[in-house]
Structure 1
């Protein structure tokens, strides 16, 4: 029987998935090639528009949350420009080139803290919540 992950552990995993998507967005046109046009827009949206992130109660720091929401606005603006972009049209529009620098900056911000454990609750990356509670 497997144990259900805690809400904190889920939030840590979501932050790690957002980091992985930032890597795709940072790859500019190659990122679009990796996941396709729908993936480019929807992968990020699937993880960002969560009540915990919008309320500021996720594993994201205040600065990480701000930059992630900024990139979400970039993606929304790109999508509104032409909701029916083909992959080639999207790449030609230079939206990936405008989004990539923001994604690179966000990725660097995430790496300052590091990535969270996928298996153990942590207060901060590398700092177990159980160890901190025992102090």
Structure 2
């Protein structure tokens, strides 16, 4: 019987998924081609629910939180600027080229701390949370 993951572990996994999506966004046009237009926008939204990313998501640093929210605003602006666009129209618009530098900056920021474990709670990447004996 498997044990349910802790809230902390779920947050760690969410942060890691956000990092993976930053990789796609950082790849500019290739990222759009990899996941398609719906994936490009929806993958990020699937893991970035503003209330969960704002101060209560403890695995994101203040700077990580700020840059991810800025990137979300940029994606929203791109979506609003070109309603009902195709993948080709989106690439031609230049939006992926505008989004990619911000995504690369966010990716670099995430990598300064590293990625969290997918298996156990950590206070910081590579630093497991000590469980008191007897539990």
Name the TM-score, length of structure 2 as normaliser: 0.94
More helix by share: 1
1:55 partner SS: coil
Asked whether the 8 Å contact 1:22–1:107 carries over to 2, the reply is yes
Paired position in structure 1 for 2:33: 33
Alpha-carbon deviation of 1:54?
2.2
Alpha-carbon deviation of 1:50?
4.8
Count the aligned residue pairs. Answer: 133
* CA distance in 1: counterparts of 2:101 and 2:127, whole angstroms: 30
1:37 partner SS: helix
Paired position in structure 1 for 2:75: 75
* Structure-2 change in CA distance of 1:10 and 1:50 (3 Å): farther
Deviates more, 1:86-95 or 1:58-67: 58-67
Name the TM-score, length of structure 1 as normaliser: 0.94
List 4+ stretches of structure 1 deviating above 6 A: none
* CA distance in 1: counterparts of 2:5 and 2:111, whole angstroms: 24
